[in-house]
Amino acid sequence: MTQQLLAEAFVELADTLVDDFDVVDFLHQVTVRCAQVLDVAAAGVLLTDQRGALRVVAASTEATRVLELLQVQTDEGPCLDCFRTGHAVAVEDLPAEAARWPRFAEQAALCGFVSVHALPMRLRSDTIGTLNLFNTRRGTLAPATLLLGQALADVATIGILQARAIDHYETLAEQLQTALNNRVVLEQAKGVISERRNLDMDTSFALLRDAARRGNRRLSDLCRAIVEGTETL
C-alpha cells in the first residue's frame, strides 16, 4: 500500500510538468500525499511572497493551517527557522522545546502535535518556502523517510515553477504571488460556503474541491466566482 501511495504521489506531481495545473489544488494535494506517504498526522506548505515574507499556502487540515498561520504572525516556530537557515529542522519532542517557541508549542499541543519536521523548498541556492510535517507521536522520522520527504518537497518546488528555467527572481516572485493570491480567494470561498451551509472549514473545502473536479475546472476560478457571487455551489 505504501509503495502504491508513493507511486501515485510522484505521478501526480510529475503531471504538473507538462499540464496546465491549478496551483492551489496542487499544493493541497502535496500536503495530503505527504501525510499519507510519510505516515505523519498532517502537513503544510509555507511560501515567500513578492516581499520575501512567508505566507501559508496549503495545509492538509484546517487545524494545521491555523498553526502555520500562527508561526507566520508571531514570527516564531521551527518552520520559520528552517526557512531562515535553509536547512531541515527536526523537533522530536516539542513539549520539551516549549521555551524555544512558547506560543507555537502551546497551539501545537492544542492540535495534538508533539513532534515537527520542517524541510526546505529550494530553488538552486535560494529557499522559497518550507514543507512542514506534524505528528502526534514523539520521535524523529527515519533517515529514509526524511530523504523521501525532501524529495517530495523538491519535486513540489519544480511543480510550482512548472519546470521552467527561472533566470530572474522577479519571475519566481510573480509565480509564487499568484499562488498566494489564489489561496486568499480560496479562504474567502471556504468562509462563504461555511456560513451558508453551517459547515466547518474542512468540509467546505472538500465541497469546493469536489465541485471543481466534477466540473473539470480550476479550483481558483470556482472560488473566485463563489466570492463574487456569480455562482453558487
Q: How confident is the model at residue 225 (pLDDT cuts 50, 70, 90)?
A: very high
Task: At 136, list the grid cell.
Answer: 502526534
Q: How confident is the model at residue 158 (pLDDT cuts 50, 70, 90)?
A: confident
pTM over 0.95: no
pLDDT, one tens digit per residue, over 175-223 is 677 778 888 899 999 999 999 999 999 999 999 999 999 998 989 899 9
107 vs 49, higher pLDDT: 107
CATH number for the domain formed by residue range(s) 2-165 = 3.30.450.40
Checking if the pLDDT of 87 tops 60, the result is: yes
Q: Domain boundaries in the chain? A: 2-165
Q: How confident is the model at residue 58 (pLDDT cuts 50, 70, 90)?
A: very high
pLDDT, one tens digit per residue, over 110-127 is 999 999 999 999 877 888
